[in-house]
Structure 1
Amino acid sequence: MAWITAGYRPIAFIPLLLAATHWVAGEQIMIAVAAVLPAAAVLLSLFPERPFTSHLRPTTPYPLEVAEAWLESRISDTDSELTQVAVMAIKVDGLDLLEERLGFSMDDTIMQEFSSRLGKILRQSDLVTRGKKSDFLVCLSGMRAPESENLLHLSRRIQSCLDEPIKKGNVRVYCTVTIGIARASQVEDLMPSSLIHAADSANRSARKDGPGGVRIFKTAYGKPPSNDNDLLEEVAMALENGQIIAWYQPQVSTHTGAITGFEALARWEHPTRGLISPVSFLSLIDRLGLSQRLSEVVLTHALSTLRTWDRAGFDVPSISVNYSSDELKNPRLPEFLRWELDRFELTSDRLTLEVLENVIAESQDDIIAQNLKAISDMGCRIDLDDFGTSYTSILNIRKFSVSRLKIDRQLISRVDRDEEQRRLISALLAMAAELGIETLAEGVETSAEHSMLAQLGCDHIQGFNLARPMPRGDSLTWIPDYRLTCPAQAQLGKKPAGDNRVS
């Protein structure tokens, strides 16, 4: 009777069917039906369903083997286009910490609920299994062109399915996921295991940039990670030979949608290891005492790019460059900035210095205050970065001539769904308005967050919802493309400026 419980539940209705047959067609027909149906069911039980022809739950006992079998059938199919086959490696961010804080039962609830939500997004033909190095593997085929763009779009949909909290009793947990993507056409020596490994490598690379990242596999991701000592020997040379450069992330007005500036961010484009995350090399630069040299390199790239935008006819008002406490202690900093601005024929109001909130909150050094005042008197702007993560007094905001507060991602996350978060942001914006200081929300990742921040009265936004950091060449095409959509951006959550009421 095992075949009755193995998926052939309709056989439970045989007695009813036989009774109906006897009533309609008589005893002879009923006997024939009674003989044929069980035999047919037994025969069907001898041919198990192909595990990869329908949607599987992530709790499959042997997930990796099932995924490899599914991929093998697609890769070996001569009629299948490799560009249309892909694997996503998905990892729930901070799951270990959630286990420690809330226990394994909550961990199980998170995985089951995410699995359920994932199943509602994917197609019936897609395969979901539990991964080895990742929490889930999603195997895809039949992806439509442009494949990479559609895979990124699907990634965003998967991430957005966790916008609503996962609940168990009185506990509510907000989760994010990091996603690594590998397309079969991009993997050398293609086998199911190498495709899965490539997706895991892309996921590992994405996690270096923080939670909620998405990366498509590149060959450099699959190489063994170098240890710090290897990179330590190369980073100083990289600063001088042009491998460490600036990438740029845009900032826009929530009132008009217009571009109000870009932030310059250090990136290491290694000739053999590919793009190295700032998390991997900024600490090495600090250990070598080269942070001042790094700021000089980034500033030169930033001002050069600003001049390039001017010559291309792009109206980009300003560029922002990050400065640490060590760099701000240099007594010659104001003079150096003035010299660089003159060299690139730019006015001082085009340059913004970003200073971490903890630098101002913890600083007892008068030279930092003197430098920032001198830089502000030159006409440069001062942004207080990661605002809300330390304890900065209003007096310090005035003392250090801050012109704009950059509200940290931790504060604006889920502002569109959390009423307490909205009240907190509304209070910060009201305080800034009273002080005559502009505000910028960083790390804005969804249109809903953008819309709510605009309604609350935040002046500017920056984040992945708008654009990821990009090299200078890409910015030359992104700027005109964005301006075609500028009117639509301006309508997101449009509300009269200065109206900071919580809705």
Structure 2
Amino acid sequence: MARPQIAITQWIGQRAQSGLGRIEVLALFPLIVLTADWFGFDNIALVTAVGLSALLACAVILPARRTVPAAKADTRIGKAGLQEALDAVTAADGRDTVCLMVEIDAWADIISTWGFDAALGIAQRTEDRLRTALRSADILCKLGDARFGIVLASMPAARLGIRDTITERLSQVTQDPLPVNGAVLRISVGIGHSSLRRRAANPADATLKAAEAALTEAQCHGPGSIRAYADGMGRARSAASQLSTEVEDALQSGAIDIWYQPQICAQTEAVTGVAAIPFWDHPKHGRLSPAEMEAALRASGQMGQLGRTMIHCATKALGGFDAAGARVPAVSIGLSRDDLQDAQLIDTLNAEAVRYGLAHNRIAIEVTAETIAHNADDTTVANLAALKANGHRIDLTTPNSAAVPLLALQRFRVDRLKIDHALVLGLQTDPKKDQALRATIALASAMTMQTIATGVETRDETAHLARLGCDHVQGFGVARPMRADQLADWVRARDAAGKPIRLDDRRMG
């Protein structure tokens, strides 16, 4: 008998909620009470007042079963949900749609930095933000901890211009700061997208694979990248996999070479140092950037070997600059988490400094925010402490996907904060970026850190950054990366001229 009783109470609660939710029903009760009181029917007035209270109690207390309309139910889960939405558009003649794959950049680093529970909260808030940029008829499905699939409501034609507008909106809505454990985090997402592949044997499956290939392509081009699907992207992924088998030989043979990009004082435009940047001259794919190499290096376990190569080449180049009479105060070497976990790191740096007669304060070590923010292992902490004790400068890079608590900045005594190029791009026309940059520079100044802005494209940007109080700048607006011998020539020519080199005089490498 228990089940029928539960069903009855659920029915009563459901009916009470349904009826009392209608304003015309509620309006009847005071009318009945007043009428009964007017004609002297006190019992009717009493019963009505008590009955209303009882019905309200039923509406709140009794377990009413709620029926969610099918159109609002989140029944589309995973790829099956996306496939269902794509099949529906395929079946409709003259209709098109867009499938998008969105993934949070540097997800493994976010987990390592903030912990798994906090990372899941970040993913949930990212999903919520994505939903705010979509229409009610669009479908969003979660495909993993950090990946989301989207199928837009059908449309007459999913032209590239329309897709660009949508993807840009999705990218922007995820970039606002997120508060996490007392710090502020900025994330970015990679996005790949494809229109409906209607001519394929299985349009829905082909469209999903196309969007996934486009996402992979986007991720190969760095954080925050967006790519539309184009024929041949699958072959590009195979090529990337092949690189991982070739990278070790490239390091041994010298095919991966270290180039140098000047850094100058924003106020005086004097050269204050150079950044060491690895490039791979591949016989088939041409010159590959660090972002294009990273996946192959990690897959092959060669990140540590790259770090040792950079230390050797950069210190040798700095000694060569001195011998050639090119005034380069310091070289900045970017080291990965693998490098900082190397127990021999300090010995390696000491040996190279002695070999080329360099003071330790001329060798700056550049680390990422993810490396030092949280969960740094004992070896990393010990190496960072030894670097400071030896006199090395520590530069901190802060990509969009990271944030650093103030205690971490103080703990590791960071000397210089490197401002990401994404914040510099469009600085003079975007008030929000201008405000964010002012706040960053003010924070660094308050903590006695210097700042260096990357990705500076013009001298106007340099002048604007100088007015904001930025200390150093780096980018094509100063000079492109060069080989060591080219850099020495560039510095000597600059010194001889006694003024900044004109744009058409800059070495292009």
**TM-score, structure 1 normalization:** 0.52
Q: Give the equivalent residue in structure 1 for 2:372.
A: 360
Other structure's SS at 1:416 match: helix
Other structure's SS at 1:227 match: helix
Q: Give the equivalent residue in structure 1 for 2:253.
A: 241
On the 8 A contact 1:257/1:486 being kept in 2, the answer is no
- Verify: 1:329 aligned to 2:341, yes or no: yes
1:225-240 aligned at under 5 Å gives the runs 227-240=239-252
On the 8 A contact 2:247/2:300 being kept in 1, the answer is no
Structure 2 CA distance for aligned equivalents of residues 389 and 254 of structure 1 = 26
Q: Give the equivalent residue in structure 1 for 2:313.
A: 301
- Verify: 1:342 aligned to 2:342, yes or no: no
Other structure's SS at 2:398 match: strand
On the 8 A contact 2:326/2:489 being kept in 1, the answer is no
- Verify: 1:394 aligned to 2:392, yes or no: no
Q: Partner amino acid for 1:280?
A: E
Alignment gaps of 5+ in structure 2: 1-148, 166-216, 226-234, 503-509
Q: Give the equivalent residue in structure 1 for 2:479.
A: 467
Alignment gaps of 5+ in structure 1: 1-96, 113-203, 213-222, 491-503
Number of equivalent positions: 291
Q: Give the equivalent residue in structure 2 for 1:479.
A: 491
Give CA-to-partner distance per residue, 1:160-182, whole Å, 9 cap, x none. xxxxxxxxxxxxxxxxxxxxxxx
Q: Give the equivalent residue in structure 1 for 2:289.
A: 277
- Verify: 1:257 aligned to 2:269, yes or no: yes
On the 8 A contact 1:256/1:487 being kept in 2, the answer is no
Shift in Å at residue 331 of structure 1?
2.0
Give CA-to-partner distance per residue, 1:217-263, whole Å, 9 cap, x none. xxxxxx99971343223211111111111011111001211111111
* Structure 1 ranges of 4+ moved more than 6 A: 103-107, 109-112, 209-212, 223-226
Q: Give the equivalent residue in structure 2 for 1:420.
A: 432
RMSD: 3.4
Q: Give the equivalent residue in structure 2 for 1:316.
A: 328
Structure 1 CA distance for aligned equivalents of residues 295 and 389 of structure 2 = 32
With over 3 angstroms needed to count, the CA separation of the structure-2 counterparts of 1:422 and 1:342, relative to structure 1, is same
Return the index of the structure with the highest Cα Rg: 2
Give CA-to-partner distance per residue, 1:263-307, whole Å, 9 cap, x none. 111111234543233333221111121111111111111111111
Select which of 394, 397, 413 maps to 1:385: 397
On the 8 A contact 2:327/2:492 being kept in 1, the answer is no
Q: Partner amino acid for 1:328?
A: L
With over 3 angstroms needed to count, the CA separation of the structure-2 counterparts of 1:231 and 1:420, relative to structure 1, is closer
Identity over aligned residues, as a percent?
32
Structure 2 CA distance for aligned equivalents of residues 307 and 354 of structure 1 = 19
Shift in Å at residue 448 of structure 1?
2.5
Select which of 276, 288, 295 maps to 2:300: 288
1:23-62 aligned at under 5 Å gives the runs none
With over 3 angstroms needed to count, the CA separation of the structure-2 counterparts of 1:273 and 1:488, relative to structure 1, is closer
On the 8 A contact 1:387/1:405 being kept in 2, the answer is no
On the 8 A contact 1:444/1:461 being kept in 2, the answer is yes
- Verify: 1:351 aligned to 2:377, yes or no: no
On the 8 A contact 2:245/2:300 being kept in 1, the answer is no
Other structure's SS at 2:316 match: helix
Select which of 431, 444, 450 maps to 2:443: 431
Structure 2 CA distance for aligned equivalents of residues 430 and 488 of structure 1 = 28
Structure 2 CA distance for aligned equivalents of residues 388 and 377 of structure 1 = 30
Q: Partner amino acid for 1:312?
A: A
Structure 1 CA distance for aligned equivalents of residues 152 and 257 of structure 2 = 40
